[in-house]
Chains A and B, each alone.
Chain A
């Protein structure tokens, strides 16, 4: 009987209490999520309308405030350009780190600084581009969409690089060896065997970085700033959803606040869709 005697009731109750606390903690963590989603839907859906998506902000003091078309298009344009800059660069650095840099001191330093870059606050990237490109007047001293893209691209670069490195490391070395043993030069092994095998994972990592960049406000504040009209000229100031929301929040006009909720819902929806596509892409991975 004594061998099977249980744990003392005090220990047992401690166990129950602590388990309860851990569960409670987890539930508490989910509360903000639920609340945010609830209010987003409650206040945001009401702002959605045909006009919301198809008209530009009017900037009127009174009366019709317009929609956020320029903001949505601007975000898409700038994030697209940022991706064109950051993704090839990130994949390239990832390829270097995995295919040529294993064990090299230089690669270790690069990897370390890429890590470091992931922790840099986004506003510092905006500041940097502002100083280098806006103040110095490269490409005209004004604010421009492409300058915003530069800042977003800088933000995406370390994220894309790190995820690319992780995925490329998952490609089994046996594949590289098999290709090398067939008398394939290294560069072809990388481009024709390693890259295609890692592609789904690379795409996932890149799309997640895109989702992150789409939501950033700070880097755009002093690079692309804000403008009302839709423009496809990246050389001009360009609107974006985050900056539009930021601007509308501070307004005393209730319509604008309502519009901000609608924009916020649209932005979160955009991000969630991108994230979903990213996760689906990784399902096709054979790693």
Chain B
């Protein structure tokens, strides 16, 4: 017999039921949230469709492969060969990776393995501060500080090492190298942060095993930490690459925006992102020109999508290696 369940509001229903109105709330709530999630997918699909649609005049005018591989970007003649832009993007990103990744990894290694405990926190914060500086401020600094201050050194380098390929000749103020250098600074925080995360998942017994074999600290890093973190660090570098490819404002301010492929590293150049920022004003009413710029944006979009997908796959795999995947009573 009886129960002590609150009688309130039950009416005639058995204790094991609820009002119809109350039961509707749960499915409704879930439906709303699911719809929001679906909205994201719809947005991305939308993106692609619209970009492709508006880019098609340029593709049909130029031909898709011609667009990508013709070495002649000449809006006034209605020739839109994006090859110089693609090459410029590649060169700047390469410089950014070559300079930025080793430094980022060195920072990550130092913070996780070598730094005294009390210094770790502040160091991490300082590196993160680099990420707080917006792109336009880096551009400003690049134009008025970096370019004039580095020019003499660059010229000296170009003169002294002119026997190297891609080096030698007159150093332009804004050039590929400066753009790559600023990109390196901009990708430092993210490459370092992710490398750090991956390095902290290295199992301590692996490191201790190395140390127990009389390894020096560096040898332990070389034998235990680096091999284990290799995939994750590669992923971090690729994320940095993705960031570098898409960076617009800082680059366009310091690269010179010259739509030809420079002959050496200290020449002016152009990138896919920079051309969009630069030429959109004048292209606004020109369907073909703006179509070409949108096409450049599409190429940029697909490129970064691809690089980031690859990167995230690597990073996720690396992170899951060391730590168990969190499960909820059997669910993943």
**By the criterion CB–CB under 8 Å, are A120 and B301 in contact?**
yes
The answer, yes or no, to whether B64 is at the interface (CB within 8 Å) is no
**By the criterion CB–CB under 8 Å, are B33 and A95 in contact?**
yes
The answer, yes or no, to whether B264 is at the interface (CB within 8 Å) is no
Interface of B is mostly: helix
Specify which chain A residues have a CB less than 8 angstroms from the CB of B43 in the assembled complex. Answer: 154
**By the criterion CB–CB under 8 Å, are B110 and A221 in contact?**
no
The answer, yes or no, to whether B277 is at the interface (CB within 8 Å) is yes
The answer, yes or no, to whether B164 is at the interface (CB within 8 Å) is no
The answer, yes or no, to whether A12 is at the interface (CB within 8 Å) is yes
A36, A100, A245: the one contacting B34 at CB < 8 Å is A100
Q: Known contacts A23-B114, A119-B239, A128-B51; is A29 also within 8 Å of B192 by CB?
A: yes
Q: Known contacts A110-B40, A249-B143; is A123 also within 8 Å of B246 by CB?
A: yes
The answer, yes or no, to whether A181 is at the interface (CB within 8 Å) is no
Mask for A1-37, Cβ within 8 A of B = 1, else 0? 0000001000110110011011111101110110110
Interchain CA distance A246-B253 in the complex, whole Å:
9
The answer, yes or no, to whether A283 is at the interface (CB within 8 Å) is no
| Residue from A95, A110, A124, A190 having most chain B Cβ neighbours under 10 A | A124
Specify which chain A residues have a CB less than 8 angstroms from the CB of B44 in the assembled complex. Answer: 113, 116-117
Among the stretches A47-55, A62-70, A194-202, A259-267, the one at the interface with B is A259-267
The answer, yes or no, to whether A76 is at the interface (CB within 8 Å) is no
The answer, yes or no, to whether B326 is at the interface (CB within 8 Å) is yes
**By the criterion CB–CB under 8 Å, are A25 and B102 in contact?**
yes
The answer, yes or no, to whether B305 is at the interface (CB within 8 Å) is yes
Interface residues on A, range: 35 or more
The smallest C-beta distance from A215 to any residue of chain B, in angstroms, reads 3
Interchain CA distance A26-B120 in the complex, whole Å:
12
The answer, yes or no, to whether B130 is at the interface (CB within 8 Å) is yes
**By the criterion CB–CB under 8 Å, are B29 and A93 in contact?**
no
The answer, yes or no, to whether A192 is at the interface (CB within 8 Å) is no
**By the criterion CB–CB under 8 Å, are B326 and A169 in contact?**
yes
Q: Known contacts A117-B40, A187-B26; is A102 also within 8 Å of B328 by CB?
A: yes
Interchain CA distance A132-B45 in the complex, whole Å:
13
Q: Known contacts A124-B300, A218-B248; is A187 also within 8 Å of B132 by CB?
A: no
Interface residues on B, range: 35 or more
**By the criterion CB–CB under 8 Å, are A15 and B218 in contact?**
yes
**By the criterion CB–CB under 8 Å, are A29 and B127 in contact?**
yes
Interchain CA distance A186-B27 in the complex, whole Å:
9
Among the stretches B133-141, B155-163, B200-208, the one at the interface with A is B133-141
Interchain CA distance A284-B307 in the complex, whole Å:
37
**By the criterion CB–CB under 8 Å, are A272 and B36 in contact?**
no
Specify which chain B residues have a CB less than 8 angstroms from the CB of A35 in the assembled complex. Answer: 141, 145
Interface of A is mostly: helix
| Residue from B33, B39, B280 having most chain A Cβ neighbours under 10 A | B33
Mask for B292-332, Cβ within 8 A of A = 1, else 0? 01100100110011011101100000000000001011011
Interchain CA distance A216-B138 in the complex, whole Å:
12
Q: Known contacts A120-B246, A120-B301, A187-B29; is A36 also within 8 Å of B188 by CB?
A: no
In the complex, which residue of chain B has the Cβ closest to the Cβ of A103?
Answer: B331
Q: Known contacts A99-B33, A264-B136, A275-B132; is A121 also within 8 Å of B304 by CB?
A: yes
In the complex, which residue of chain A has the Cβ closest to the Cβ of B127?
Answer: A29
**By the criterion CB–CB under 8 Å, are B136 and A242 in contact?**
yes
**By the criterion CB–CB under 8 Å, are A100 and B109 in contact?**
no
In the complex, which residue of chain B has the Cβ closest to the Cβ of A113?
Answer: B44
The answer, yes or no, to whether B30 is at the interface (CB within 8 Å) is yes
Specify which chain A residues have a CB less than 8 angstroms from the CB of B47 in the assembled complex. Answer: 128
The answer, yes or no, to whether A122 is at the interface (CB within 8 Å) is yes
The answer, yes or no, to whether B1 is at the interface (CB within 8 Å) is no
Q: List B residues 8-57 near A (Cβ within 8 Å).
A: 22, 25-26, 28-30, 32-34, 36-41, 43-44, 46-47, 50-51, 54
Binding site for A on B (CB under 8 A): 22, 25-26, 28-30, 32-34, 36-41, 43-44, 46-47, 50-51, 54, 102-107, 109-111, 114-115, 123, 126-127, 129-130, 132-141, 143-145, 185, 188, 192, 214, 216-219, 221, 239, 242-243, 245-249, 253, 273, 276-277, 280, 284, 293-294, 297, 300-301, 304-305, 307-309, 311-312, 326, 328-329, 331-332
Q: Would you give 17 A-B contacts (Cβ < 8 Å), ordered by A? A: A22-B114, A25-B102, A29-B188, A43-B144, A100-B30, A102-B332, A103-B331, A113-B41, A115-B308, A131-B54, A217-B248, A218-B248, A221-B277, A245-B136, A257-B144, A264-B136, A268-B134
